[in-house]
Structure 1
């Protein structure tokens, strides 16, 4: 039974919350004042007691937790990969806590949430996908707040029942042409050197994610792998033996083992090796021409990384998108000399890294490197490979019965190798006799030019 009390001209009501103080063992009470009559106060108290009996009650003490506090504690409860954790922390810091930090968790209303959602849509610097991620994290926080007893329901509508239908915008893409890839590889050769040339072809012919390419170590790359596999996980012993039989047995297949990606802890911390996205460790067979390029590349340097940076270090330490990819895709003017300010005076000095003019690649200007991964899937789909072979190669898992019953067989892998090799040879056959690549800022492997001439010759013979 609630307890009404008169306070001046108004009435206040107190009710037992059904909980006891953890230290004193005394019952805990909540109260609310401001009622005009005793009956109104009692009715309100009876409603709260009904909520308590039906497990719907949120005490004023619990509901008063501020979002700023909940943002900190909630992040400690989620189990996600380091990249996802970094992104979630960024969404909370930049958008969720500034808007909701001073408001109690229980006081967030659905109307206020909808207003915030519209505000995010109006921000020119927030794309559709990024906004969706922000709202998803906020929705997860509100769902967990309900489970934590901090509010009765989430202010986020799970199914929109009103408002204008807005079609989801998708990035406009054009088919990936192998002639454009060839130009990207040549630009990488002119700007970066032989590692850049092989990097582009490996990226396009495997569909690896950029961070997986940064973290590719020589022991996981053909021709070393699988013989050189460190075998660091005893639970994977059966897989190691299967790999030896499948990729280095009587009918070997050149392959890359995607075991790690190179990332920075927290986005700005020390670089380290982490499992690939979605724990998508996988083996990628490569066409013969890529295997031959990788063999020449590994013989040309002693770095632990298959693709060393311009100065010989790890690519993770370079801003690859800005310092490498934008020049490879967008091109740049010749850099024999450059201007600079020195002690208040303008100077023109010789470049420490003179480079020829690098042409822009049509269709790739301003485009992100990740689209080479999209293009790889396009090629596999065009060549009619099975879904299980394609999705496994991309590091995805097929859901349902199809994924449960399917398996990538050696026949499927050889078909992938053959189609990619055939695509390369058909293009190589279109190159003119005597064609030479652009000059490289670093020495090329001795047999690279001879190898290139043989590829063109083989391509013309295959097209005859």
Structure 2
């Protein structure tokens, strides 16, 4: 039974915490500030009930300060490099400065709701993005959930999950997208050639016809690119996978999404693709030929090089590449002279990531198997469908065929193609005469 005593006009309750001191005596915990004995006794009985049923929260644990807990929590997480940087920045800038002096067990739902409202107001004023606010709340919510379920520092989380039908209805805002048109892509690719040469031309078509994520494109190396892969794959030299890949993808050209390129503790690092979505992407013949031409024009390990010949990671990609391609630019003179580049108005203020979205639209429009579509996008199917699903060579071949048909139907004989870059092997330059003649007869811009 809990023990009740009066101290300075207030009632205090003491109960056994379920532990023993080094000298063998029982260890007690106390709580003060009660106005009457009944309230204090009920509180003590509740704590003893929790001790008997193994659900008690030790007072010393609940009083852990957030400035300690948030970093202990962070260090216990197994995160990808990009998430590690994001979480660390959020804790540094948003969580520790606001909550650091508070005990984990003292944070209330009312305080959390007030903080969330202030963050959303800051987003409405344009001080931070709505997406950033969602990330902050997600990290804090995970932190508080773990304080209950994993570390037993609280009984319940102060983060109240919103229930459908409660509060003001807010319709989810969807990005305004147009169907991806070949004419729009061609204008982007022509602009990319002016901005970035043959690399830019190939980059746009590869993004649109493979749906690779931008950092997967940055991390694509020549050994994983059609036409070199899988024969040049350094990872499977002694692996049983190599033989079936050689058989399957020499008859059906493909590239391998093996890495993405990211910063890890200030160093450029090849890391696993998002969601561990390693995958093989069949490429249509026209793109296979583009890759041949591009790889023959340089000896870099990176398929898509920056202006300086190095990796794209570390460049100001949007400002130096994507924005001029998308929005156009004025004519330049001098060392970096180029003609005026017209804007592609359909893509005004749009992300290059939408080329990936457009690829999914094409696959759905062409009626491809859902399992083949999701595998190509780097997604996993859940449930029984995912367990039994398998992408067959026939599914991949049909994807390559429909993509090639889309290219041929649009390009015809009169659309502009860039001149083939040099240096090139003699036999390779003979394989693409259409590009040479078309590029020689037209000007860009």
Match of 1:241 in 2: 243
Q: Is residue 149 from structure 1 mapped to residue 119 from structure 2 by the alignment?
A: no
1:315 to 312, 317, 327: 312
Helix, strand or coil at the partner of 1:74 = helix
Task: Tell me the distance in 1 between the aligned counterparts of 2:47 and 2:71.
Answer: 30
Match of 1:95 in 2: 94
Partners of 1:231 and 1:240 within 8 A in 2: no
The answer to which of 442-451 and 69-78 deviates more is: 442-451
The 5-angstrom pairing of residues 15-414 of structure 1 reads 15-21=15-21, 26-38=25-37, 40-122=39-121, 123=123, 124-147=126-149, 148-160=151-163, 162-232=166-236, 237-248=239-250, 252-266=251-265, 269-336=266-333, 351-414=334-397
RMSD over equivalenced CA pairs, Å:
2.4
Task: Tell me the distance in 2 between the aligned counterparts of 1:375 and 1:39.
Answer: 67
Task: Tell me the distance in 1 between the aligned counterparts of 2:37 and 2:130.
Answer: 53
1:61-82 Cα distance to aligned partner (Å, 9 max, x none): 1111111211100011222222
Structure 2 unpaired stretches of 5+: 440-445
Partners of 1:185 and 1:196 within 8 A in 2: yes
The answer to which of 135-144 and 178-187 deviates more is: 135-144
1:22-41 Cα distance to aligned partner (Å, 9 max, x none): x6655332112234455554
Task: Tell me the distance in 2 between the aligned counterparts of 1:129 and 1:402.
Answer: 32
1:35-57 Cα distance to aligned partner (Å, 9 max, x none): 44555544433332223223343
Helix, strand or coil at the partner of 1:192 = helix
Q: CA 1:130/1:24 → structure 2, altered by over 3 Å: closer, same or farther?
A: farther
The answer to which of 368-377 and 2-11 deviates more is: 2-11
The answer to which of 9-18 and 390-399 deviates more is: 9-18
Match of 1:461 in 2: none
Q: CA 1:20/1:383 → structure 2, altered by over 3 Å: closer, same or farther?
A: same
Deviation at 1:90, TM superposition (A): 2.5
Task: Tell me the distance in 2 between the aligned counterparts of 1:96 and 1:416.
Answer: 47
The number of residue pairs the alignment matches comes to 430
Structure 1 unpaired stretches of 5+: 337-350, 457-464
Give TM-score, length-normalised by structure 2: 0.90
Task: Tell me the distance in 2 between the aligned counterparts of 1:454 and 1:377.
Answer: 33
Q: CA 1:52/1:358 → structure 2, altered by over 3 Å: closer, same or farther?
A: same
1:161-215 Cα distance to aligned partner (Å, 9 max, x none): 6211211111111111111111111111111111111111111110001111111
Helix, strand or coil at the partner of 2:303 = coil
Partners of 2:417 and 2:438 within 8 A in 1: no
1:352-409 Cα distance to aligned partner (Å, 9 max, x none): 3112111111221221111111111111111111111111001111111222212111
The answer to which of 320-329 and 205-214 deviates more is: 320-329
1:89-120 Cα distance to aligned partner (Å, 9 max, x none): 23322322232222111111112222222222
Deviation at 1:241, TM superposition (A): 1.6
Partners of 1:220 and 1:257 within 8 A in 2: yes
Give TM-score, length-normalised by structure 1: 0.86
